[in-house]
């Protein structure tokens, strides 16, 4: 199984449902609460001018009507995961994390 698919399974387990979406097109109708994630950046470490280590950074957004969602605590405990920001749109709370996997 690829690394992204492993991350997908971890996010589904944290959420407790199948409402996890990777780069969903606008035609997908999402069910809430959910986690939407996408590739954000990559970090490459070089040694002797050659790539030595390569890590993909993802941006994961928890979308929930509950402003005190417990999903935040679960996601924040993942290794290499940092809370970035919060905003509200369409009466839904969006909490954004960046993580490496």
Cβ(7)–Cβ(101) below 8 Å: yes
Query: In terms of C-beta density within 10 A (0-12 exposed, 13-18 middle, 19 or more buried), how is residue 52 classed?
Result: exposed
The pTM for the full model equals 0.88
pLDDT at residue 1, rounded to an integer: 52
Domain count along the chain = 1
All residues at 6 or more sequence positions from 21 whose CB lies less than 8 Å from its CB, including other chains: 28, 30, 34, 35, 36, 37
pLDDT digits (tens, 9 = 90+) for 67-101: 999 999 999 999 999 999 999 999 999 999 999 98
Q: What is the CATH number of the domain that holds 28?
A: 3.30.2000.30
Domain range enclosing 49: 3-100
Q: What counts of helices (H) and strands (E) characterise the chain?
A: 2, 5
CA 79/CA 55 separation, integer angstroms: 13
pLDDT band at 24 (very low <50, low <70, confident <90, very high): very high
């Amino acid at each position: 199984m690829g690394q992204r698919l492993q991350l997908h399974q971890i996010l589904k387990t944290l959420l407790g449902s199948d409402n996890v979406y990777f780069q969903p097109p606008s035609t997908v109708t999402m069910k809430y609460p959910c986690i939407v994630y996408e590739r954000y950046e990559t970090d490459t470490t070089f040694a002797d001018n050659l790539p030595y280590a390569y890590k993909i950074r993802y941006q994961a957004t928890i979308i929930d009507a509950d402003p005190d969602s417990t999903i935040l605590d679960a996601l924040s405990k993942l290794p290499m995961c940092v809370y970035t920001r919060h905003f509200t749109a369409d009466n839904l709370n969006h909490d954004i994390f960046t993580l490496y996997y």
